[in-house]
Structure 1
């Protein structure tokens, strides 16, 4: 019985030590609630619905943090996340020595910016970012570009979500406290 209590005590101490190390889950923001307004992205490509697909995947990523909400309404938002799909290359096919397609290379270029609506300052700007997805001969089909785009959109959404959380954390760390603590009169 004593060894069971000892093991539980050790486990509790280990958990407390881990919590005290400043470890956090990078996919989750646990600070004060923040609202990120994301208007429709400009889609300068011929690929219809790509802007909507990016929004949907981003919305799923933002559901990981209860304290950060993604919205299509500007009112009450703390940040604006605006983006543009600049270009797409669908598909680039590479050929092997016997005139067979050996790979599909899909390229998508985007740009985006995160702006603090309270201060009007840009907290993060990516003026141009190229995303690519390669597919080998085994995966080349009529749906190959769709598979590649799905992978690219997932990568874009994860990058934007993680980058947004990082910038929000930094903004929260910079904000001075109001001076009204438990001892304020």
Structure 2
């Protein structure tokens, strides 16, 4: 029987190489602890609960970092993220032989700002951003509504991820 200790140096070297490879996950903020207050966005559209969906998605993304805590009031926060849903459009993209719509595009226009409260410094400001997502037109109004909701959910997830990434890239890292 061969001693197991003989493989320890190899195991140590492999472990060291894996740990020190320099990989950094860009989705996780590792800088000094910060607290953020995320406001519910103003919703200037007729789509009910859209602002709440964006708030929940943003919250989910900011909770990925153990160095960022979400607070319920501005007075307890280091940062504030505020935004507005400016408009939503549903322009048709393509038509079938009988002049019915086959494909529709959801176009969501937003704006947002991230500020450091103590210094009133703007860390990120996007005054006009448009997100689009296509979906197939269904055969019934309920199918259309479901497809539109799914397209909006894709937009919301993508924009929340982008806002999170842009926000943490503007914060000092360790």
Contact 1:90–1:145 at 8 Å: present in 2 too?
Answer: no
CA–CA distance in structure 1, aligned partners of residues 39 and 12 of structure 2: 51
Unaligned segments of structure 2, at least 5 residues: none
Inter-CA distance 90–3: structure 2 relative to 1 (3 Å threshold):
farther
Q: 1:141 to 1:46 in 2, by over 3 A?
A: closer
Structure 1: segments with no counterpart, 5+ residues: 174-185
1:17 counterpart residue number:
20
**1-structure distance, mates of 2:44, 2:70:** 23
Distance 1:113 1:13 in 2: 41
Measure the CA separation in 1 of the matches of 2:137 and 2:114. 39
Q: Distance in 1 between matches of 2:31 and 2:120?
A: 21
Distance (Å, rounded) in 1 between the aligned partners of 2:68 and 2:92: 38
C-alpha RMSD of matched pairs (Å): 2.2
Contact 1:113/1:126 (<8 A) preserved: yes
CA distance in 1: counterparts of 2:138 and 2:10, whole angstroms: 52
Q: How many residues are treated as equivalent by the alignment?
A: 168
When the two structures are superposed, what TM-score results if normalisation uses the length of structure 2? 0.86
Q: Distance in 2 between matches of 1:137 and 1:44?
A: 25
| Separation of aligned partners in 1, 2:55 and 2:166 | 16
Q: Quick one: distance in 2 between partners of 1:97 and 1:4?
A: 71
